[in-house]
Structure 1
Amino acid sequence: MTPYRAFVLCSFRYKVFASSFPALHEQYPQALRSLREQLITKLETAVKDEAEKMYSDHGIVPLLNQLEELSKQKRPGVTAWRPTGDVEEDLRAHTYPLKLKQRDRLKKIAEALTEENKQLRTAVEARRHKFHNTQQAVEDNIARVNQAYDACQNLPLQKLIDFVKKECM
């Protein structure tokens, strides 16, 4: 009980105490610190006295000693809450089914992700193939336009104009 009591009393911080009395904190910070220390001391004494009184009035110490003796005794035919008595082994037996469920769940997630990756890979390959075909078609069209341009460059312009006038008129 002593470590717990010390923990509770240590959590009674000056900052919190000072926020409850801001005017006193501003004018007399040292007096407020002293007051807090006195309060903690008196509170610790009061809690200790009250605990000792409760122990003596209700006979708690002998009861705790009796409980310790009973827990040390082994009774035939009565199983303890730890069947083997080994904490690690019993804990392993308790957590094993949970770990199996978690493993199965993770396997399902991994399978779903693998399937999704396979589908994405297939879709990417199809789009790459389509892109390659489109790129090839564009390059072919550019080559035809360049051929037509080169052919037009080799024709004499005047002959072409005469030919068009003759044929169209």
Structure 2
Amino acid sequence: MSEHIGCLESEEIGGEKLQVVKAALHTAMSRVLAGWNVSLLAACFPSLAVDNKDFIETIRVNIVEVVEKALLEDFDEMIDEDIVKSLEEFSTAVKDSCVSKGTVAWRPTGDPKLDMMAHDARVLYYEKQHILESLKHAKLVTSKAEEAIKQGYKKCHENQKEIQKNLSVVNELLETSQAINEGHNSGLCKTVFLRPSN
């Protein structure tokens, strides 16, 4: 078809697999452009087709070359900017990962229950850690509450002792006042009732 179609050199693409991608794109483009034959173009320009078949062929060749060149540039740009850049970022991410070369990556076993267990185990481990942290926090809060209650009981006991002490003083005063009152009343009675008459 056209001499422009072909694979990029390895330094342009950066790998054998990218060469395969480029070749597949070029093959697809070649097939599409090969379908642009003279009869298709002649159907678009019926007045020229009868007397100017060579002119229509020239137009077709020029259109195919322009489209082919534009598509090749787009393919190169797509490969350079999208595919190669993505692969470089992926390669950098793989190199920067902390996983050693001897580490075996997890792969599905084919048994859905077993695969879900591997997934669920990680989630359940996280949940277990979360529950243990919550339990630890609850124990700390409970311990502080118990200490506050002990302090409260101690304070109540001290207050109770103080109240009993003050109450015994009040009781003594009451007894003393009653005794004084009774003694005073009996003396008053003697004075009033046993006073000698004139």
Assess same fold via TM > 0.5.
Answer: no
Greater relative contact order, per chain length (Cα 8 Å cut-off, separation 6+): 2
Q: Greater helix percent: which structure?
A: 1
The structure whose Rg is larger is: 2
TM-score w.r.t. length of structure 2: 0.37
